[in-house]
């Protein structure tokens, strides 16, 4: 007996990452990781783009006393607008709401299918997506990047009404002690939500995909409008979740593939041993 004797359903199985074939998942991860570092390098060597994008939403005012050279007084008008304040608060909880929906779907799948439920692809996709949320926006972004990057937020720098010195993206020597600008946690949450689009049931996709995409764009944009993050912070934060999502699913695919190969070898060797 050889592998050609095995049924077709045992020869290949779909990958964990929806809409991406198993053999292309790792390649997708490497592509997104490369794009992430290229964008980081671009903003690092051209910091004036961050400054120019932020200045669009900054309104200068007269300083109450003579300001040091290079220091500007002012504020970000959108950050004081009641409508946008409420909108940001609502959008802030969208990733948490999506996680609760995923958790509910996972529990429902387990209850419905019993002990065999986790062998099904949907349950595995739900659990891996929840794992990505924990590892990405929470651990990587909020507990590592934002705690140790040292990059002051725009509204904390002397260019935009603060006192700290501006730092380009990727510089870890700034004056921010914690909860820093690099990268945006809310943008990372929005990037995670965008990864869930393939999990939406096909019947609901025409109704849910457009508003979800809009939410995932508006959420990081508001952080720039508010002066809470630079453009580079939100783009890299948004993409960081996609990179990590692909990484987690790539590892899951590799482990699944190794298990699949082991089972195939066993299916081949056991009949041979019995025939001897």
- Using pLDDT thresholds of 50, 70 and 90, give the confidence band for residue 132: very high
- Say whether pLDDT at 178 is over 70: yes
Predicted local distance difference test score (pLDDT) of residue 91:
98
User: Of the given ranges (9-23, 33-47, 156-170, 246-260), which has the lowest mean pLDDT?
Assistant: 9-23
Averaged pLDDT, 212-241: 98
- 3-state helix, strand, coil split of the chain in percent (to 5) is 70, 0, 30
- Say whether pLDDT at 213 is over 60: yes
Residue 68: Cβ within 10 Å count? 8
Averaged pLDDT, 177-186: 96
Residue that wins the pLDDT comparison between 18 and 229:
229
- Using pLDDT thresholds of 50, 70 and 90, give the confidence band for residue 21: low
Predicted local distance difference test score (pLDDT) of residue 15:
45
Tell me the average pLDDT of the chain: 86
Predicted local distance difference test score (pLDDT) of residue 70:
56
- Say whether pLDDT at 81 is over 80: yes
Contact indicator for 18, 252 with CB cutoff of 8 Å: no
Contact indicator for 192, 132 with CB cutoff of 8 Å: yes
Two structure tokens written together for 262: 């082991």
30-39 per-position pLDDT tens digit: 999 999 999 9
Cα–Cα dist 180/145, whole Å: 8
Cα–Cα dist 154/76, whole Å: 10
Cα–Cα dist 172/167, whole Å: 8
Q: What is the pTM of this model?
A: 0.84
Cα–Cα dist 272/59, whole Å: 79
Averaged pLDDT, 110-129: 76
Q: Kindly provide the b/e burial profile for residues 172-189, where b requires at least 16 CB atoms within 10 angstroms of the residue's own CB.
A: eebebeeebbbbbbbbbb
Residue that wins the pLDDT comparison between 20 and 226:
226
* DSSP string across 45-67: H-THHHHHHHHTT-EE---SSPP
- Using pLDDT thresholds of 50, 70 and 90, give the confidence band for residue 66: low
Predicted local distance difference test score (pLDDT) of residue 25:
84
- Using pLDDT thresholds of 50, 70 and 90, give the confidence band for residue 2: very low
- Using pLDDT thresholds of 50, 70 and 90, give the confidence band for residue 114: low
- Say whether pLDDT at 109 is over 90: no
- Say whether pLDDT at 271 is over 80: no
Contact indicator for 200, 18 with CB cutoff of 8 Å: no
Averaged pLDDT, 38-50: 98
Sequence-ordered list of residues with C-beta below 8 angstroms from that of 224, at least 6 positions apart, any chain: 53, 54, 57, 230, 231, 234
Averaged pLDDT, 68-88: 89
- Using pLDDT thresholds of 50, 70 and 90, give the confidence band for residue 22: low
């Amino acid at each position: 007996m050889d592998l050609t004797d095995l049924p077709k359903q045992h020869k290949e199985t779909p990958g964990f990452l929806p809409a991406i074939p198993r053999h292309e998942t790792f390649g997708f991860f490497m592509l997104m990781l490369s794009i992430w570092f290229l964008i980081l390098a671009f903003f690092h060597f051209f910091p004036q783009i961050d400054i120019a994008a932020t200045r669009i939403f900054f309104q200068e005012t007269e300083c109450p006393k003579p300001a040091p050279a290079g220091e500007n007084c002012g504020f970000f008008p959108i950050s004081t607008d009641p409508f946008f304040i409420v909108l940001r608060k609502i959008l802030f909880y969208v990733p948490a709401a999506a996680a609760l929906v995923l958790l509910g779907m996972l529990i429902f799948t387990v209850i419905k299918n019993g002990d065999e439920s986790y062998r099904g692809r949907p349950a595995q996709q739900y659990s891996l997506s929840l794992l990505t949320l924990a590892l990405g926006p929470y651990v990587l972004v909020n507990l590592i990047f934002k705690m140790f990057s040292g990059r002051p937020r725009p509204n904390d720098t002397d260019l935009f009404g603060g006192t700290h010195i501006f730092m380009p993206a990727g510089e870890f020597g700034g004056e921010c002690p914690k909860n820093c600008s690099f990268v945006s946690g809310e943008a990372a949450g929005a990037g995670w939500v965008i990864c869930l689009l393939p999990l939406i049931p096909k019947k609901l996709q025409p109704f849910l995909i457009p508003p979800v995409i809009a939410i995932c764009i508006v959420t990081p944009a508001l952080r720039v409008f508010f002066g809470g993050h630079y453009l580079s912070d939100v783009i890299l934060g948004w993409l960081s979740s996609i990179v990590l999502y692909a990484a987690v699913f790539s590892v899951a695919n590799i482990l699944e593939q190794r298990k699949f190969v082991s089972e195939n070898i066993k299916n081949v060797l056991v009949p041979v041993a019995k025939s001897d």
